[in-house]
Amino acid sequence: MQKLLIRGAEKLPDSLLNDIKKKHEEKGLNISDSIDVRWTLLSGKIASPENKLLLSRALSIFQVSAVHVLCNISLAIDA
């Protein structure tokens, strides 16, 4: 895990990029053939300012998603 943290962002394998392109095409979206999608492992303990911003954004996404899930569960229970 430590090595992944140090290496930083890595490009997705071509097989996964092809899956992304296919999904976009199915939805009628046009994307460039030179799509560049990367992933990275983030840690709050070893975080650059850039990574702290990414962690903050990820936290916001999870919080909003959790609220939607809880609201849907509440609606299902009330129904």
pLDDT tens, per residue, the chain with 79 residues:
888 888 888 999 989 988 888 888 888 887 776 778 888 888 888 778 888 888 899 899 989 888 878 887 777 777 6
**pTM of the predicted model, to two decimals?**
0.54
Polymer length of the chain:
79
Compute the distance between CA of residue 9 and CA of residue 4 in angstroms, rounded to an integer: 9
